[in-house]
Chain A
Amino acid sequence: QKEVEQDPGPLSVPEGAIVSLNCTYSNSAFQYFMWYRQYSRKGPELLMYTYSSGNKEDGRFTAQVDKSSKYISLFIRDSQPSDSATYLCAMTGSARQLTFGSGTQLTVLP
Chain B
Amino acid sequence: EAGVTQFPSHSVIEKGQTVTLRCDPISGHDNLYWYRRVMGKEIKFLLHFVKESKQDESGMPNNRFLAERTGGTYSTLKVQPAELEDSGVYFCASSLGLRTDTQYFGPGTRLTVL
Binding site for B on A (CB under 8 A): 2, 4, 6, 32, 36, 41-46, 49, 51, 88, 95-103
Would you call A97 and B4 a contact (CB within 8 A)? Answer: no
- CB<8 Å pairs between A and B, sample of 22: A4-B42, A42-B107, A43-B107, A43-B108, A44-B105, A45-B105, A46-B104, A49-B100, A49-B102, A88-B43, A96-B103, A97-B56, A97-B59, A98-B33, A98-B35, A98-B103, A99-B45, A100-B35, A100-B42, A100-B44, A102-B42, A103-B42
Distance in Å: Cβ of A9 to nearest Cβ of chain B: 14
B41 to chain A: closest residue by CB: A102
Task: State whether the Cβ of B18 lies closer than 8 Å to any Cβ in chain A.
Answer: no
Distance in Å: Cβ of B15 to nearest Cβ of chain A: 25
**What total of chain B residues lie within 8 Å of the partner, measured CB to CB?**
25
Task: State whether the Cβ of B87 lies closer than 8 Å to any Cβ in chain A.
Answer: no
> What residues of A have a CB within 8 angstroms of the CB of B41 in the complex?
102
Would you call A51 and B100 a contact (CB within 8 A)? Answer: yes
> What residues of A have a CB within 8 angstroms of the CB of B56 in the complex?
95-97
> What residues of A have a CB within 8 angstroms of the CB of B107 in the complex?
41-43
Task: State whether the Cβ of B48 lies closer than 8 Å to any Cβ in chain A.
Answer: yes
> What residues of B have a CB within 8 angstroms of the CB of A102 in the complex?
41-42
